[in-house]
Amino acid sequence: MTLRQSLALVWRTLRSMRTALVLLLLLGVAAVAGSLVPQVGTSNARILAMFRDHPLRADIYDKLGLFDVFGSWWFTLIYSLLLISLAACLFPRTRALVRNIRSRPQPSRELDAMRHYAARPVPAEPERAIADARRVLRRRFFRVAQSNGGGPPALAADKGLAREGGSLLFHWSFFLILVGMVWGKGTGFTGQAVIVEGQTWTEAAANYDGRIDEGRFVDESDHSGVGIHVEDFTATYRIPSGIPEDFVTHAELYDANGAFLRTVDIRVNHPAEIDGVKVYQFGYGWAPVVDAREDGVPIASGPVVCTQGPPPQGVSPLQLPWNCVVKLPTLTPQVGIRFELWPDSRSLYALLRTGTAMPMLTQFSPVMTYTAYRGDLRSELVQNATVLDTMGMRRWKQGVIGAGQTKELGAGLTISFPDLRQYTVLQVKRDRGLWIMLLAALLILIGLLPALYSSRRKLWVTAEPDGRGSVLKVGGFALQRRSQFEEEFAKLVDELTGTPRDRVGVL
Amino acid sequence: MSTEQWSRLSTDAFNVALFAYIAGMIGYFYYLAFRGQLAWRAARVAAFLGLSANALSVVSRGVAAGRVPWGNMYEYSSLLALLVVTGYLFVVEGVFKVRVLGGFVLAFSVLTMAIAVMFLYVGPGPLVPALNSYWIKIHVVAAITGSSLFALGSIVTILYLAKDRRERRTAAMTPIAGGSVDLEDAPPHFESGADEPVGEATRWGILPSAAVLDRVAYRTIAFAFPIWTFAVIAGAIWAEQAWGRYWGWDPKETWSFITWVVFAGYLHARATSGWRGRRAAVIALVGFASLLVTYYAVNLWIVGLHSYAR
Ligand code: HEM
């Protein structure tokens, strides 16, 4: 086989309906794998558990890309081939459709050879009968061409080009989806902002909590610099069931120059939008205000963000305490304090009394247990503010501190707990491809309807003189929904040969 | 009436609907087996009674909860049964005049409702915040409508496969068989009742011809496909509002995508030579299986953002 022949073969294979079908089904199979194997991003904990419990299997899965099916090379390959095959199908189909639209319905004289055929006498003479027929067909959305060659007058008509047009629109729109996805991801970013009540957060790459997901065309200067000042966060639960009812962040928005724009309530399903950046309510947590003083001189003061680990099986996160860390590197020896916060102290008492903590739905005389360590914080190694590495430290003091209290730790160090605040976690995101996706979705739906529900019909009409009137001959066939056409054709013939409405009075 | 009373009314109506559907199912199967006109009438009355009770149950559930009645799996199931039976009684029986599929359709609804009361029941209550959105209402209505039509189409597809097999056997035994069958060119409507096609064993003879079944199945699935497409799009719009991403390959999203791809495969197969008929039908059934996974398995066993919708 020459190169040319092989290329022709590849092209022909790509263009075939069978290839498209097989690729579609393959895409489905690949997606099944992606739903059965835990995926990076949605089930990280389960992946880690698998690496721990079945290292060999996990390793094989990892090599095959099964933990990230939708980003794997073979998933990409399948949909790329599908899109190439799609383009290969669409180019010739589009060209054919354009040609078809430009050309007029072709005449035919062999009407009685058609699948559907009828001949009936009509009172009008041929020219007139054809003109009437033309009007009827137009009203029924047929394209009509009159042949002016020799012989009796004749019409050629067809309808249903919308079917192919819709199908092409539908199929082409998948490329628009690809464009919207690539453009949106490439020029967009998404990350999380952690903001304590009373604080202001500025949208810039450095201010995100943890990793920020940036597209490859985004750089530092591309961030908006808008500000979000959180006045207050409220979580509402039904009492006593603990079913969440509402999460809302009351915030003030500022533009990049610090000018006040407006206040917003950001809640689940109701994101706020500033300057092309969308802000979603994502989560929340507690942030106790902790003051540390050495000999009465403040050395650290402010809200501390507390977090929760994953709850054990059968335990609601609402029953778990919150953990946070305060580091005091200026002291010698250095001091690190671990806090365990109970926003509702009744929950802690319930735990001590009955062994089961109560769900904490609101703040109620909060308490913290604390453990202080002395030694070396190893700050050069442990930079994460929420992690206390006690490797180089010894346990020093333990105790309980309630809201509004102050505790003496010794060596002149006191800590106090003047206030408990909440922080909100906002998902901050920019996606400039959204409107393209929306447009594509719209076109897909618009294209799909005629593609599935309209059908091609071809029809020819001639009129031959017969006495004072003429004989109208009608022939035609349908390319889809043929069984339905039987009835349609009969009705059309009735209408074509029946009495035209405007002449009822005369006859 | 108080919330409790509405809630009780909903539960009672649900039970009435379930038993009426069971009675209707038995009647329709009796009609399928012995062709008694009386059995058909009785079955139809039972089905309509069930339908009314089902509708009453859905509405009173909505009143009791003070919101749209499709907030959890129990409510989805009830609504799904309602739409499948409505579609059957008004479209399949009303428009296509096919009477013999009632038993299968009601069996599906009975199963759905039975699973709902046994495993999925929750009391009426407000929606969790993420579910409280305009788009999810649209999304769920479209998803349930699409699912019920897919379910109807799939039931007809199963009957098509059975009937087709039967016809092939008979054709193999009859010497005059031959020629290819153009599926679109089957005889026009099969009017159920008195004039069955002759020469078949009675129990099979009462089913419409394979060609008609195939066409009804295709029409139903082709009707369901854009609705399902719309449901997936509405779901993506909702996800964009709720979580800030329109598509995240969450298990529910993944499975609705699989369902969509497989049914697109079915529509393609119908236009691919060598795949029409039985092979296409098998693809439709794979799509149906995938729909069931989307509907039940994902909610009950696979973890994901949607799982709180149980
Ligand atoms: C992105 C993947 C694809 C999807 C989701 C898809 C979906 C569909 C759907 C739903 C239909 C039915 C609507 C209609 O009858 O016009 C259809 C029809 C069709 N598709 Fe695709 N398709 C895809 C890819 C392709 C490819 C790669 C080809 C080229 C081989 C192709 C060729 C066709 C043709 C020729 C029809 C018309 C069939 C008919 O006349 O009934 N499609 N497609």
Give residue-wise pLDDT tens across range B22-42.
889 888 888 877 777 888 899
Interface of A with B in 216-275 (CB under 8 A): 238, 241, 243-247, 267-271
Closest CA to A470 of A506, A497, A501, A505: A497
Q: Choose among B185, B244, B304: nearest Cβ to A271.
A: B244
CA dist., res. B261 & res. B284, Å (int): 11
Phi-psi map region of A410: left, alpha, beta (phi>0 left; psi -120 to 50 alpha): left
Find tokens 């070396």 and name the residue. Answer: A376
User: How confident is the model at residue B308, as a pLDDT?
Assistant: 35
Residues in chain B: 310
Q: Compute the average pLDDT of residues A421-437.
A: 93
Per-residue pLDDT band for A210 (boundaries 50, 70, 90) equals confident
User: How confident is the model at residue B309, as a pLDDT?
Assistant: 35
B90: pLDDT strictly greater than 80: yes
A40/B contact by beta carbon, under 8 A? no
Q: Cα–chain-centroid distance for residue A318?
A: 29
Q: Choose among B223, B236, B242: nearest Cβ to A269.
A: B242
User: How confident is the model at residue A182, as a pLDDT?
Assistant: 92
Q: Which DSSP category does A366 fall into? A: -
- pLDDT tens for residues A95-111? 999 998 888 888 877 88
Closest CA to B181 of B138, B210, B208: B210
User: How confident is the model at residue B204, as a pLDDT?
Assistant: 67
Give chain A positions within 8 Å (CB) of B228.
none
Q: Compute the average pLDDT of residues A367-379.
A: 91
A412: pLDDT strictly greater than 80: yes
Q: Who wins on pLDDT, B286 or A464?
A: B286
- Is ligand 1 within 6 A of the CB of residue A171? yes
B283: pLDDT strictly greater than 90: yes
Burial class from Cβ neighbours inside 10 Å (0-12, 13-18, 19+) for residue B38 reads: exposed
User: How confident is the model at residue A82, as a pLDDT?
Assistant: 94
User: How confident is the model at residue B193, as a pLDDT?
Assistant: 39
Contact criterion met (CB below 8 Å) for B220 and B156: yes
Which strands form A154-159's sheet, in the order they lie side by side?
A: A116-122, A469-478, A457-466, A154-159, A143-147
Contact criterion met (CB below 8 Å) for A144 and A105: yes
B171/A contact by beta carbon, under 8 A? no
CA dist., res. B23 & res. B26, Å (int): 5
A507: pLDDT strictly greater than 50: no
A382/B contact by beta carbon, under 8 A? no
- pLDDT tens for residues A334-360? 999 999 999 999 999 999 999 888 888
Q: Could you count the other beta carbons within 10 Å of the beta carbon of residue A231?
A: 12
ipTM: 0.83
Contacts of residue A501, Cβ cutoff 8 Å, sequence gap at least 6: none
User: How confident is the model at residue A365, as a pLDDT?
Assistant: 92
User: How confident is the model at residue B236, as a pLDDT?
Assistant: 93
Closest CA to A191 of A213, A172, A173, A159: A213
CA of A85 to the centre of ligand 1 (A): 11
Interface residue of A243, A483, A486 to substitute, partner B, most B CBs within 10 Å: A483
Q: Compute the average pLDDT of residues A323-329.
A: 92
A282/B contact by beta carbon, under 8 A? yes
b/e code A392-405 from CB counts within 10 Å (16+ = b): ebeebbeeebebee
Residue of A nearest to B127 (CA): A245
- pLDDT tens for residues B292-307? 888 776 665 554 444 3
Q: Choose among A190, A247, A437: nearest Cβ to B129.
A: A247
Which atom of ligand 1 is nearest to A448's Cα? 13
B132/A contact by beta carbon, under 8 A? yes
A427/B contact by beta carbon, under 8 A? yes
Amino acid at B152: L
* Strand intervals (E) in A123-276: 143-147, 154-159, 189-196, 200-202, 209-214, 227-237, 244-254, 260-267, 272-274
User: How confident is the model at residue B307, as a pLDDT?
Assistant: 35
- Is ligand 1 within 6 A of the CB of residue A324? no
Give chain B positions within 8 Å (CB) of A434.
240, 246
Q: Compute the average pLDDT of residues A278-288.
A: 92
User: How confident is the model at residue B194, as a pLDDT?
Assistant: 38
Burial class from Cβ neighbours inside 10 Å (0-12, 13-18, 19+) for residue A454 reads: buried
B130: pLDDT strictly greater than 70: no
User: How confident is the model at residue B129, as a pLDDT?
Assistant: 63
Closest CA to B72 of B14, B12, B21, B130: B130
> What are the CA-CA distances from residue A217 to residues A181, A185, A207, A434, B169 (Å)?
13, 9, 19, 17, 64
CA of A476 to the centre of ligand 1 (A): 27
A71/B contact by beta carbon, under 8 A? no
Q: Choose among B226, B249, B269: nearest Cβ to A452.
A: B226
